[in-house]
């Protein structure tokens, strides 16, 4: 069984002392689930955390299929509970001696037009996608700094480099993750700790269906036409986007690399989009992005 209750502290330290230790957040589905299984397959001892342990079934099934059940321990963690984040990380370090790799994956996508989104919705988005990531990261830093070793992989997005209409909360939170990661990388490099950003494009995961799928638009909203177009696009992505295998492969490669770069854009059109945004006159770029949603305007 994949349960933290079944692992005794002293036994863990003796048995898994030679295994690299990874801590991954947001493991109930998507990138987090697949990353945990992939890292376990590469020989890592994986602490897979999720907000609600009632959702651990998919991870358990995937781990069993991959034959890595004995290398994954599922832990309950809501990253927005900052004191719990500190306690959980310290418990893991106490039992395993260290955390070699932290993958900050927990997050969700909130969408809608700014005029119609309550400030509290923005706050919830940042509590999970940004402040939760910061809290978990802060908890591992003292141990990594003292050992002068470690990697912190922050799962960002193409939305951390390029803004899109109706996705303001998500985009803003990912832009914040990008800036935080840049600063933290320069703080920690002298201590042998590497901070890395993974910037995926569109892949077949639950994030958009859960986030944008929950968006409702009032019949009298001035944005009805645009929102319908955006939701149509999101549904198309959900139907046609590839499986996220290359994202997981990139995370594993970063974990293995002794000197990883700061940024790794991943996915069809992602690198081109970033280049075009940086080299085209802004008016050209915004026309490209908005044309799809403002037909006839």
Instruction: Give the H/E segment covering residue 103.
Output: strand 101-104
Annotated active-site residue 191? The verdict is no
Q: How far is CA 282 from CA 87, 124, 279, in A?
A: 46, 31, 9
Query: For the sheet containing 45-50, what is the strand order?
Result: 72-76, 45-50, 21-24, 101-104, 150-155, 193-200, 263-266
Q: Which of 184, 196, 210 is nearest to 266 (CA)?
A: 196
Residue found under tokens 């907000």: 51
Rg, Å, the chain Cα set: 20
Q: Which of 118, 91, 104, 99 is nearest to 174 (CA)?
A: 104
Q: DSSP secondary structure string, 182-217?
A: HHHHHHHGGGTEEEEEEEE---SSSHHHHHGGG---
Which positions ≥6 away from 16 have C-beta within 8 Å? 45, 96
Q: Which of 73, 83, 90, 108 is nearest to 207 (CA)?
A: 108
d(CA 101, CA 254): 10
Within 13 A of 187's CA, how many CA atoms are on the CB side?
A: 14
The catalytic position among 44, 96, 108, 170 is: 170
Active site residues: 170
């Amino acid at each position: 069984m994949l349960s933290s209750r079944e692992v005794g502290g002293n036994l863990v330290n003796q048995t898994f002392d030679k295994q690299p230790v990874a801590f991954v957040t947001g493991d109930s589905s998507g990138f987090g689930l697949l990353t945990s299984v992939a890292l376990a397959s590469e020989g890592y001892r994986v602490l897979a955390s999720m907000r609600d342990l009632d959702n651990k079934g998919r991870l358990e099934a995937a781990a069993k299929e991959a034959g890595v059940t004995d290398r994954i321990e599922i832990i309950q963690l809501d990253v927005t509970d900052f004191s719990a984040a500190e306690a959980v990380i310290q418990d893991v370090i106490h039992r395993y001696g260290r955390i070699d790799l932290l993958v900050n994956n927990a997050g969700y996508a909130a969408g809608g037009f700014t005029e119609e989104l309550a400030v509290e919705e923005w706050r919830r988005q940042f509590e999970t996608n940004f402040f939760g990531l910061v809290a978990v990261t802060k908890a591992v830093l003292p141990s990594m700094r003292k050992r002068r070793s470690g990697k912190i992989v922050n799962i960002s997005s193409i939305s951390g480099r390029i803004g899109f209409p109706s996705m303001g909360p998500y985009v803003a939170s990912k832009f914040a993750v990008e800036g935080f990661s840049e600063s933290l990388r320069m703080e920690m490099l002298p201590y042998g700790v590497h901070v890395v950003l993974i910037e995926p494009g569109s892949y077949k995961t639950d994030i958009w269906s859960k986030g944008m799928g929950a968006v409702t638009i009032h019949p009298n909203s001035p944005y009805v036409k645009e929102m319908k177009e955006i939701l149509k696009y999101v549904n198309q992505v959900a139907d046609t986007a590839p499986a996220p295998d290359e994202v997981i492969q990139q995370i594993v490669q970063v974990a293995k690399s002794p000197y990883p770069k700061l940024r790794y854009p991943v996915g069809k059109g992602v690198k081109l989009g970033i280049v075009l945004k940086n080299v085209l006159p802004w008016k050209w770029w915004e026309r490209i992005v908005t044309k799809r949603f403002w037909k006839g305007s």
